[in-house]
Amino acid sequence: MADQPANPEPLKPDQQETLSRGEASGLESESLPQSSLIGMKIGSCKLRRVIGSGGMGTVYEAQQEQPRRRVAIKMMKRGITSRSALRRFEFESQTLARLHHPGIAQVYEAGTHDDGAGGVPYFIMEYIPNALTITDYADEKKLGTRERLQLFAKVCDAIQHGHLKGIVHRDIKPGNVLVDSSGQPKIIDFGVARSTDSDLAITTLQTDVGQLLGTLQYMSPEQCAADSSDIDTRSDIYALGVVLYELLAGRLPYDVRQAAIHEAVRMVREEEPTKLSSIDRHLRGDVETIALKALEKERERRYQSAAALEEDIDRYLAGDPISARRATAWYHLKRFACRHKTVFALTGSFVLLLIAATIVSLILMNNAIQWQKQAMLMRDQAIEGQEQAEQQTTVAKRAQAEAEESRVEALRQAYLANLNAASMGLGDKAADSVHRRLQAARHALGNPPLDEMPFAWRHIAAANDDSAYQVDTGLRRPWALAFNDNGTRLTSYHLRGKSWDSLVWDVSTGEGLADTTDSIHDGRTPGHLLLVLNDHSQSDSLRKVIYDLPSRNVISIIEDGEVHGPSFEFSDDGSRLVAFSNDSSYLTIWDVDSGSIVLRLENPSGQIRRVCLSPDGRLIAAVSQASGYGGSWIELKDVDTGELVAQFGDNSNVPESCFDAAIMSTIRFSPDGAQLVAVEAGGDINLMNVQQAIVDRKVDPKTIRSWPLGNIGISNDAVFDSAGGHLVVSTNDDVIRAWDLDSGEILNTFHGQGGSIRVMLISPDGSTLASAGRDGSIRIWDLSDFRDLSEEMSGRTSWYKDFCLSPDGAQIASGNNLGMIDIRDLRTGELIAQLGSYGTHIIVDMVYSPDGMHLASSLYGGEVWVWNTLTGKRVHVLNHGETSGIPGLAFSPDGSLLAQGGREEGVVVWDTDSGEVRYVLPEPEHTNEHVAFSADGSLLAVLDDMMTANGNVSLWDASTGESIEVDRRNTSNTYQIQSMFMFDPRQNIIASGYSDGMVRIIDPVDDALLLKFQAHQGPVDYLDYSPDGSLLATIGGDNFVRVWNTDDGEELLSFTEEDKKWSSLSFSHDGSMLIAADYEDGLSIWDTRSTGRQSVDRQAMMRLKASLDSMVRTWIQEAEDDAEVVQKLQKESLNRTAEEQAALRNLVLKYLHRR
């Protein structure tokens, strides 16, 4: 330190003392011993010069390095700190640094500096240039009383901030209240006295009596007692009162300049301050009352906070009544007594006698007040408890809501996971596994009704199950099935405990029936309704009984049935029963009525594998297998005589003359007994002529008709229809396949039983198959030659590149290669009408009106033809110049407007009633091919250019044609080429497809991006919302059709087909079908109905149309014109179902179009 300058450089005018001009009287000159520290680093600062020194320490100007700024550093004197004070200093200095208020000089940093003799506390504080003490500032600026009070109110606000942080200043005086050049007061040394114990040390270490007396004038009476533990924020209120007094009167409330220290302390503690009004009469009234209340000797009578003092000043300045009140006579008397105790004691003894009764009253009143306070406290505690309970309830509800959100999300994920697994299982034809996954997915959604399940679930369920209906048996396992004579009812028999019951079903609907009349065949019980059961009449019995299911009666008892295997076979007429032994060495035939043995046959040349009886029970067919060889042969014997009447294969030359060394898994007679079918395990189906075999006694295998079973598993059972022309085989892979026996062609292949098939039965008319699985399920299958709608409508003359569906879902319209519009029945595929005439017109877009009464078609070249869909007549030809592209069409939701894009002059909007142009949108920069109205009809959106990266969707007011400004700054300009868009049917948001394969859902008005996801690897060519807006279907350049959840962009389904190039798609009006058209004139339809249900529905619609046909023909014959027919249709439709209305509309169009 020897190289430090002896004297600090002089202060510049803008570097005046920042902390205390009030201390200036006691400051040492610039040439101080402390100047030896100049140039040293204290903390992060380098000392530049001494600003001043007082009784508590020395103030320096310094330069802080990080951040770089001028600061003031106060170094406390060593003698005023103790070891315990240093520890408290470290703690409380952290609190001081957190004081942030415009009226408090900021303490940036605090610490202790070790100069070799121990730690010396220091504070790094805010440097305030050109600062004056509050009294000097008021005098220099010549402030009036109001301005001085306003300035002082800011000081109170700053002191209140410190008090709220738990810090008492303890040394408030004008020298510690500075005002900067802007008039903002700054409190310095906030809490320094407390953090360093300087307020205690000053009374013991201070040698300058003048400085002590100067400090005592601002100390509260309790401060003068030198007990730091008894000092609180109200001591600062007293000091503020002294400063306020001096600020207003220009002098202090006590004159202790000539008094000794102990006398000065007494004056502060006992003497009343001189009234302000005696100094300046203008200070009489509220101002004097405020100052005197702050200077009360008893701190309970002072303002209880700096905020309360500030509020009273603000009330005075605002002209409002203040809260302070002048001291009462009683208070003055009490103060007098304190000063003159002897005189007052003599006088008071007499007074006390007079007021004794009053004292008792006051005590009682005080008790009442205390009780009231206690009651108020209990009330406040109750209110606080209630508030806490309400807060806890809110927290619990929030936690419950969060838990519910988590539960819902977990269920959603479970649904999606099971749905995806079910979709993957479709390709493996694992019907049972897919069914379980679908049930788990449905359970995750809360098991809603099947018709309320989402599209993706219903589609997978339909693709997994080809049956027309699944009947609900209530988990009761069916053992047998029976059709009634006309095949309209099906009876199922179930074992419940030890008793049997039956259920009856309507075959056309799959619904259960209460009426069981005519539910089974008349006459003798057929074999498929007989069972062999264990005899439980005696506990030790091994006998078996023949049980009649319809009558619930035991027909007869089989004495030795226990030695036979489980495969008992009855003849179709129910007269005979056959089974082979457990060791496969012999077979036994019983008479059903008596239970007696009719025939027992040994088989020494091989083991018996399969047996069956002819329908009349007179012939037995047995499949045998040679020991040690894989081949098998069939022997046909007379039941009455046991004589061999025919043989298929030769057991004398095994295995060369056998069925290709195959094992027969199923053997069955035709209903007339003329044919015998034998199905090889995983091999061929072999059909043999029984009558010819009996004549020849041996059949050449070359004469057996055979065709492959196919890769569908090993056969479980086979049944003939009643005419013997069709054969149905079930396999262990839960596949059912039907053949035409004349041609050997496959008629149907069904999947979806979901469990091993126990029983199969064909209805008497051969149109329906019923099956029962071991899992308890019963399904009804349509055996008709079914072609789904995509097959029915594809490969014709229709050109489905562009198509549209009627709002009621009854029709599908498409252009054909003859320049006309084909309208087909969407339920049957039937061609109803062809609109237009043969020519060279090319139809590029079509759209139905919202009510389905009109169909608008856009021709290449610009014309728009509008057709009446009830009469098939053209009602408008709209033209407004040439088109520059492929013009798109859109009806407004109310059907009053028709917009056409693709025109050179802009988008044209017509009035649909008059055919007049309503307005033309301004000419665009590029082609505008795609147009669409919002769901509420308020907006018309136009894709300005779908072939360039500059293309955007522009918005227009649909009613006026005025442009709606769109903020393009958000998202659109960053996208790739926009290829297609569609409005959400629920709200005015748009889903757009782009060339980069992305789909973005946006709010078109502000161009806000709501959701985006990668839909395809190639461009998005087309998209469509489901009717409820929950799904979005897309076509991509990667040759996939995908279905997405519009809430989160989750992929639900994806489809692809070889040699398909889809161009457009649409959901049906009810959301049950998704239809896509390809460039090769074909349709792909993904339905939520099984193929069996589609077939049943189609046949029902055809029957319905047939029943209504004659009525519609009569209307047309009797009506004079089309309008009269339409009137009859509208009147008749009032009392018809939706299905009947659709059928009537199609019939009317069909016949009026031809007329």
How confident is the model at residue 153, as a pLDDT? Answer: 95
- In whole angstroms, what is the distance from residue 933 CA to residue 898 CA? 10
Residue position matching structure tokens 């006694």: 697
Half-sphere exposure of 273 (CA within 13 A, CB side): 30
pLDDT at 618 (0 to 100): 94
Task: Indicate if the pLDDT at residue 565 is higher than 60.
Answer: yes
- Percent of the chain whose predicted confidence (pLDDT) is above 90: 37
Q: Name residue 1015's amino acid.
A: A
Q: In this model, does residue 31 exceed pLDDT 60?
A: no
Q: Which of 589, 604, 619 is the last residue of a domain?
A: 604
Strand partners, 890: 899
> Distance of CA 307 to CAs 160, 176, 367, 853, Å?
6, 19, 31, 79
Between 682 and 142, residue with greater pLDDT: 142
Tell me if 557 sits within 8 A of 543, measured CB to CB: yes
Q: Which two tokens stand for residue 305?
A: 């906070």
* CA-based nearest residue to 578, from 599, 554, 563, 548: 599
Q: Would 1014 be classed as within a structural domain?
A: no
pLDDT tens string 167-190: 888 889 998 999 998 999 999 877
pLDDT of residue 197: 47
Q: Which of 302, 323, 344 is the last residue of a domain?
A: 323
Region 963-985: what's the mean pLDDT?
Answer: 71
| C-alpha radius of gyration, the chain, whole number | 53
Average pLDDT, the chain: 82
Provide the residue type at 291 as one letter: A
Over residues 714-766, the pLDDT tens digits come to 888 899 998 888 999 988 888 899 998 888 888 888 888 776 788 899 999 88
Q: 229: pLDDT confidence band, cut at 50, 70 and 90? A: low
Q: Which two tokens stand for residue 996?
A: 């980069």
The residue among 807 and 512 whose pLDDT is bigger is 807
The token duo for 760 is 């199969």
557: domain CATH number is 2.40.10
What pLDDT sits at residue 843? Answer: 81
Interior angle at CA 671, CA 669 and CA 674, nearest 5: 60
DSSP H or E segment with residue 232:
none
| Reduced 3-state DSSP string for 150-178 | HHHHHHHHHHHHHHHCCCCCCCCCHHHEE
Q: List, by residue number, the catalytic residues.
A: 171
Element (H, E) at 978: strand 978-983
185-187 and 177-179 beta bridge pairing: antiparallel
pLDDT score of 33 more than 90: no
Rounded Cα distance, 813 and 858, in Å: 13
pLDDT at 89: 66
> 536 or 602: whose pLDDT is higher?
602
Domain end point (choices 323, 345, 363): 323
Q: Please indicate, yes or no, if residue 1140 is contained in any of the structural domains.
A: yes
The verdict on residue 296 lying in a domain is: yes
Provide the pLDDT for residue 202: 43
- Inside any domain, residue 456: no
Three-state DSSP state, 261 = helix
Q: Average pLDDT of 853-879?
A: 90
Whether 144 maps to a domain, the answer reads yes
Instruction: Please state, in angstroms and rounded to a whole number, the distance separating the CA atoms of residues 1056 and 1074.
Output: 13
pLDDT at 495: 82
Decide if pLDDT at 55 tops 50. Answer: yes
- Whether residue 909 has pLDDT greater than 70: yes
Within 13 Å of residue 1003, how many CA atoms lie on the same side as its CB? Answer: 6
| In-domain check, residue 850 | no
What DSSP state is assigned to residue 576?
E
Q: HSE of 508 in the Cβ direction (CA atoms, 13 Å)?
A: 9
| pLDDT of 134 | 95
Enclosing domain of residue 549: 537-571+575-604
Query: For residues 176 and 159, what is the distance between their CA atoms, to the nearest angstrom?
Result: 12
Does 135 map to a domain?
yes
Query: Given pLDDT bands bounded at 50, 70 and 90, which one contains residue 315?
Result: very high
- Starting at the earlier edge strand, list the strands of the sheet with 843-848: 843-848, 854-859, 864-868, 874-878
Work out the widest C-alpha separation in the chain, in whole angstroms: 158
Q: Which helix (H) or strand (E) holds 713?
A: none
Cα gap 155→239, rounded to integer Å:
12
Tell me phi and psi for residue 147, to 5 degrees. -65, -35
Q: Residue 5, class by beta-carbon neighbours within 10 Å (0-12 exposed, 13-18 middle, 19+ buried)?
A: exposed
**In CATH, what number is assigned to the domain containing residue 317?**
1.10.510.10
Each residue's pLDDT tens digit, 128-154: 888 899 999 999 999 999 999 999 999
Whether 782 is covered by a domain: the verdict is no
287/145 Cα distance (integer angstroms): 9
Percent share of the chain, pLDDT over 70: 81
pLDDT, tens digit, 9 for 90 and up, residues 339-357? 556 666 666 666 777 778 7
* In the predicted structure, residue 662 carries a pLDDT above the cut 60: yes
Distance CA 114, CA 385 (A): 53
Q: 812 has which bridge partners?
A: 805, 824
φ, ψ (nearest 5 deg) of residue 1093: -70, -35
* Rounded distance between C-alpha atoms, residue 93 and residue 85, angstroms: 11
Judged against a pLDDT cut of 50, whether residue 77 lies above it is answered with yes
Is pLDDT of 1133 > 80? yes
Q: Which residue has the higher pLDDT, 893 or 497?
A: 893
CB neighbour class for 373 (10 Å; exposed up to 12, middle 13-18, buried from 19): exposed
Q: How many domains does the chain have?
A: 3
Tokens found for residue 790: 């995509």
Q: What angle do helix axes 1138-1154 and 1091-1118 make, rounded to 10 degrees?
A: 50
